[in-house]
Structure 1
């Protein structure tokens, strides 16, 4: 059993991208669903589907690649905060990824959101991961 479900989520997506898979299936949780929705909104994945079972359920994610060159839309997926060292940032000092070209996903008191949305609402929280 793994102790960090978000790291497991990111690792499964990273491994699927390196293996050039079209679809990856991940065990579901509420925070993983929110991260998946953000990835879809920002254009890093093609589509997703939540499947509910009696026990836990799963998330199926269709990964996005360039149609001609087959380069993945996600160049890097990196975990910022981890169980051994949590990374928190206030509303004013939220991290910028690639000078605003990438996205950092923040878990705030108002839910999971991107760094840009958190800056607009002036809320801080735990920096979950960086995507670019």
Structure 2
């Protein structure tokens, strides 16, 4: 049996026959804001949703260095056309030109450690086929796709994937 009492002042309730006093301090309505857990996840979801809807352009905000590096990897492989950073004296915006080639993109959370020898099982798990799609890693040599990491013989943490 659960008892839940919600009030903005002192409340008295009985749980299993004993009095229960609860204090609830309601925050003012203007201070209720969503907290962004993963800026990269929000950006990739925005791109994916715009791609599904057939949009040619999408605006991402806020911006971060990780998002820009991830987009550079996507652009290098032709999954997006181009993108432009717009400085609005806050967190910044990125305008991405889509070309309709992307099927799926996403973030892997938590960022698992991946050695060079462990890259192959990750590609088998995340990507639809061997020669299709890329896993993006953050390494000591920078943010790169899994093929470049294998060529440079470096491991790192898995950021996300796209195909």
Aligned pairs for 1:44-63 within 5 A: 44-63=79-98
Separation in 1 of the partners of 2:81 and 2:44? 16
Residue 88 of structure 1, aligned match among 96, 113, 136 = 113
Q: Name the CA shift for 1:100/1:93 in 2 (closer, same or farther; >3 Å).
A: farther
Q: How many residues align?
A: 122
Bigger Cα displacement from structure 2, 29-38 vs 94-103 = 94-103
Paired residue for 1:15? Answer: 49
Deviations, residues 32-52 of structure 1 (Å, cap 9, x unaligned): 000111111100011111112
Aligned pairs for 1:64-75 within 5 A: 64-65=99-100, 73-75=101-103
Higher relative contact order, chain-length normalized (CA < 8 Å, sep 6+): 1
TM-score computed with the length of structure 2 as normaliser: 0.70
Separation in 2 of the partners of 1:19 and 1:101? 22
Separation in 2 of the partners of 1:86 and 1:39? 19
Residue 149 of structure 2, aligned match among 84, 107, 118 = 118
Deviations, residues 50-97 of structure 1 (Å, cap 9, x unaligned): 1122122111101112xxxxxxx11111322x1xx3322102211323
CA RMSD across the alignment: 1.3
Paired residue for 1:70? Answer: none
Separation in 1 of the partners of 2:106 and 2:95? 20
Gaps (5+ residues) in structure 2? 1-34
Paired residue for 1:129? Answer: 160
Q: Is the 8 A contact 1:90 1:124 kept in 2?
A: yes
* Residue 24 of structure 1, CA deviation: 0.7
TM-score computed with the length of structure 1 as normaliser: 0.86
